[in-house]
Amino acid sequence: MSEKQKGEAKTARIPIKIVPAERLKKPDWIRVKAGNSATRFGEIKQILREHHLHTVCEEATCPNIGECFGKGTATFMILGDLCTRRCPFCDVGHGKPLPPDPNEP
C-alpha cells in the first residue's frame, strides 16, 4: 500500500535551502473566515463526508476553500485522495494509486 506524502515529506528530496525569517503578522483586513456548519460551506462539507468524497480543495489545503464551498462548488478527486503526480507547488498527497473503491460514488 502506498503512503500519502504531504508537506516536508513530499519535498524532502528537492535540494532547497530554507532561510528562517521573522514571520510578519497579517493585517486584520486580509483575514477571511472559511465558514461554519450553519452556512453553505458547512452543508458542502457535510455532503462530502456523508459520501466519503475527496476534493482537491481540501487535500491541497487551498486558501480559497471558503469562497468555493460557500458558492456550493468543489473540485473532486476520483479514485481516492492520492495524486500520481509530484508537483512541488501542490500540497495534494501523492503516491502509488490504490485499487478502485467499488463503493466510490
Nearest CA among 77, 87, 93, 88 for reference residue 6: 93
55 has a pLDDT exceeding 90: yes
32 has a pLDDT exceeding 90: no
Q: 30 — phi, psi (to 5°)?
A: -85, -15
Taking residues 21-32, what's their average pLDDT? 83
Q: 28 — phi, psi (to 5°)?
A: -60, -35
